[in-house]
Amino acid sequence: MVSVILAVVTACASDANLVTDRPTDFVAVPADSPLQTEVRYFSSNNFVGEPITGYLAPTIYMTERTYQALLAVSEDLETFGIGVKIFDAYRPQQAVDHFVRWAENLSDTRMKIQYYPRVDKANLFRDGYIAARSGHSRGSTVDLTLVDLATGVELDMGTPWDFFDLSSWGESDQVSSVQRANRALLRSVMTKHGFNPLREEWWHFTLADEPYPETYFGFPVQ
């Protein structure tokens, strides 16, 4: 039953009309930006365990409006010796389709211990960890964390990025007081600069005033 549902959803996502050209107001985070990047979907260090379709380079794209808001976030945090590290922003629809295909293959659990040790893979779609459409494909959603600028070490958020578990909820009581404080700092500075948090993922924020609220894009990251 799970495979049938996922197959139908994948077909719907693939057949939907997508914008395949990159708009002029989508920008790549430049090498000299104060925003750090680590594009895990270009590597095998992600919950699938292999490079993701549509990520042809370790580049982070996002709308210009989102980038400017993140620069303001970075400027606020720099005063305290803290920086921003982005794991993902714009995500092409073909990458989302790759996630759905992976979720359908219940025999592939190579990354289970690292990314979803307490969740049955058969329930990833039902529980909302995997979806046929992602706000990331609209270009104004970001996955990010905070880093110590002096050491480059990520602040302890209680769980890694993309960890499928109830402990990844932003206000989970399964993490320590220090970890909750770090999440609260991230959430407060992001909301100050116009982002809405996703309660189920401490790392996930969407620009409230996103320029493409109904548009999904399919151009590759390159």
- Residue 54 makes CB contacts below 8 A (sequence gap 6+) with 91, 92, 93, 94, 95, 98, 218, 220, 221
| Rounded distance between C-alpha atoms, residue 131 and residue 134, angstroms | 7
The H or E element containing residue 114 is: helix 112-115
* CA–CA separation, 19 and 26 (whole Å): 13
In this prediction, residue 78 carries a pLDDT of 97
Residue 76: inside a domain, yes or no?
yes
* CATH code assigned at 50: 3.30.1380.10
Q: How confident is the model at residue 152 (pLDDT cuts 50, 70, 90)?
A: very high
**What does the alpha-carbon distance between residue 44 and residue 47 come to, in Å, rounded to a whole number?**
8
pLDDT above 70 coverage of the chain, percent: 92
13 class by beta-carbon count within 10 Å (0-12 exposed, 13-18 middle, 19+ buried): buried
Q: What is the pLDDT of residue 74?
A: 98
| Residue 42 domain-assigned (yes or no) | yes
Q: State how far the alpha carbon of 155 is from the alpha carbons of 9, 10, 90, 128, 151, in Å.
A: 37, 36, 24, 26, 10
User: How many whole angstroms separate alpha carbon 119 and alpha carbon 115?
Assistant: 9
Q: Does a structural domain hold residue 155?
A: yes
The pLDDT, as a whole number, for residue 75 is 98
Beta strands 141-148 and 201-207: pairing type? antiparallel
Residue 144 in 3-state DSSP?
strand
In a domain? residue 116 = no
- What is the value of pTM for the model shown? 0.92
Bigger pLDDT: 16 or 167? 167
pLDDT at 11 (0 to 100) = 41
> Which pLDDT value is given to residue 68?
98
pLDDT of residue 8: 38
Dist. CA 117–CA 98, nearest whole Å: 21
The confidence score (pLDDT) of residue 17 equals 67
Tell me if 97 is assigned to some domain: no
Beta bridge partners of 36: 85
Residue predicted with more confidence, 18 or 209? 209
Retrieve residue 116's tokens: 């979803």
The answer to whether position 98 is within a domain reads no
Give the residue among 69, 29, 212 at the shortest CA–CA distance from 136.
Answer: 212
Q: Which of 38, 104, 201, 210 is flagged as catalytic?
A: 201
Question: Of how many residues is the chain composed?
Answer: 222
**Residue 16 binned pLDDT confidence (cut-offs 50, 70, 90):** low
Q: Please tell me the predicted confidence (pLDDT) of residue 64.
A: 98
Q: Is the pLDDT of residue 7 over 80?
A: no
What CA–CA distance (Å, rounded) separates 6 from 221?
Answer: 25
Among this protein's residues, is 201 annotated catalytic? Answer: yes
**210-221: per-residue pLDDT in tens?**
999 999 999 999
> Per the domain annotation, does 127 fall within a domain?
no
Residue 102 lies in a domain: no
Residue 57 has pLDDT above 70, yes or no: yes
Q: What's the structural domain count of the chain?
A: 1
Q: Which residues are bridge partners to 37 per DSSP?
A: 86
Q: What is the mean pLDDT of residues 80-103?
A: 98
pLDDT digits (tens, 9 = 90+) for 122-146: 999 999 999 999 999 999 999 999 9
Residue-range definition of the domain harbouring residue 43:
27-92+137-207
- 20-56 pLDDT, tens digit per residue, is 999 999 999 999 999 999 999 999 999 999 999 999 9
